[in-house]
Amino acid sequence: MGNRPWNLEHISLFVEVAERRSFSAVARARRKAQSAISGAVAALETDLGVTLFDRSSGRHPQLTDAGSSLLEEARELLRQCERLDGRALALTRGHESRLRLAHDEAMPYQPVLDSLEELAARHPLLEVRLTSAAQGAVVAKLLAREVDLGLAFSHERMPQALERRAVGRVEMVTACPVGHPLAALQHVGYRELAQHRQLLITLPSSGYAGGEPASPQVWRADSFYAMAEWLIRGLGWAWLPRHVVQYPAYAGRMVELRSDCLPPALVVELLWRRDEPLGPVASWLAQRFAAHLEVIG
């Protein structure tokens, strides 16, 4: 065991079998015989000196205690390999000639504009493509390799294929339209909020902060700006990022309520594919995003 005879292919198969809970499913996905998959995992068990799966527990192989203990180590090893390949690729590319960006449409717009203005001055020949997307679409575009860099609000189930770097926070506020019954109160709690329709971001399964309702009557949208448009038309109250409430188009049309009933601040994350790391221009832009977001945070 001291000579580490196992290889990365065996480690990769171990992780995939653990995630799919099936030797046959992995065999089909890789277009190999099931015996080849089970044999490779068995060889890894021999090399490591531990049993990774309990094969007698039924239809699906179950991780043993040793397997559960080693699974995250194996995943991290594969992630490190992806980073190594990606960094080597970045070194061969040099400076980027094109940068494709996607950001959540509810992102504070001033830090994004300020950062891009600095980028234009520093790299005047760089081609930039910017996409504004509703919640979740930024991640989808990164996974589809349609963009190189994403700026999005953090949530609990970011795909493992993405690298993440927290670059700022956005405070949430409780808001209602002018003339709404809540606007007349000095302070509002859950009891008062529960008496009126709530406008809420997406579905609870998304993992985004603020997904749990405070009112039994809820309308949902996948965009904070869609919620703001509903709000100014008197359709309900909402938890919104403060910069959305302060957007010039909404001036005088909504009220920020005094309330301790707030979801946590939204964490802004920079996202990119682990197997395609940031080049020097994208890395510099990431630093500028963080600097400008810190000013408003």
Give bridge partners of residue 255 from the DSSP assignment: 176
Per-residue pLDDT at 94 = 61
Q: Which residues of 114-153 are buried (b: 16+ CB within 10 A; e: fewer)?
A: bbbeebeeebeeeeeeeeebbbbbbbebbeeeebbbbbbb
Per-residue pLDDT at 96 = 77
Per-residue pLDDT at 70 = 93
Query: How many other CB atoms are found less than 10 A from the CB of residue 1?
Result: 10
Fold of domain 8-91: Arc Repressor Mutant, subunit A (1.10.10)
Where in the chain are all domains bearing CATH 1.10.10.10?
8-91
The matching CATH number, chosen from 3.40.640.10, 3.30.300.90, 3.40.190.10, 3.40.50.2000, for 94-170+266-296 is 3.40.190.10
Per-residue pLDDT at 294 = 78
Per-residue pLDDT at 204 = 45
Where in the chain are all domains bearing CATH 3.40.190.290?
172-256
- Each residue's pLDDT expressed in tens, for the chain with a length of 297 residues: 445 678 889 999 999 999 988 999 999 999 999 899 999 999 999 989 999 998 887 678 889 999 999 999 998 888 888 767 766 665 565 667 789 999 988 888 888 889 999 999 988 888 899 998 876 788 899 999 999 999 988 877 788 889 888 888 888 999 999 999 999 999 999 999 999 999 998 754 454 545 578 999 999 988 888 999 999 999 999 999 988 998 899 989 999 999 988 888 888 999 999 888 788 888 889 889 888 887 665
Characterize the bridge pairing of strands 62-63 and 53-54: antiparallel
Per-residue pLDDT at 93 = 59
What DSSP letter does each residue of 106-128 carry, written as one string? TS-HHHHHHHHHHHHHH-TT-EE
Characterize the bridge pairing of strands 149-153 and 266-273: antiparallel
What DSSP letter does each residue of the chain carry, written as one string? -TT----HHHHHHHHHHHHHT-HHHHHHHHT--HHHHHHHHHHHHHHHTS--EETTSSSS-EE-HHHHHHHHHHHHHHHHHHHHHHHHHHHHH-S-SEEEEEEETTS-HHHHHHHHHHHHHH-TT-EEEEEEE-TTHHHHHHHTTS-SEEEEE--TT--TTEEEEEEEEE-EEEEEETT-GGGG-SSB-HHHHTTS-EEEES-GGG--TT-S-SSSSEEEES-HHHHHHHHHTTS-EEEEEHHHHT-GGGTTTEEE--BS--PPPEEEEEEEETTS---HHHHHHHHHHHHHHHHH-
Where in the chain are all domains bearing CATH 3.40.190.10?
94-170+266-296
Per-residue pLDDT at 95 = 62
pTM value is 0.62
Which sign does the torsion angle of CA 182, 183, 186, 187 carry? positive
In the sheet that holds 198-201, the strands lie side by side as 218-221, 198-201, 237-241, 172-177, 254-256
Per-residue pLDDT at 211 = 59
Classify domain 172-256 by CATH architecture: 3-Layer(aba) Sandwich (3.40)
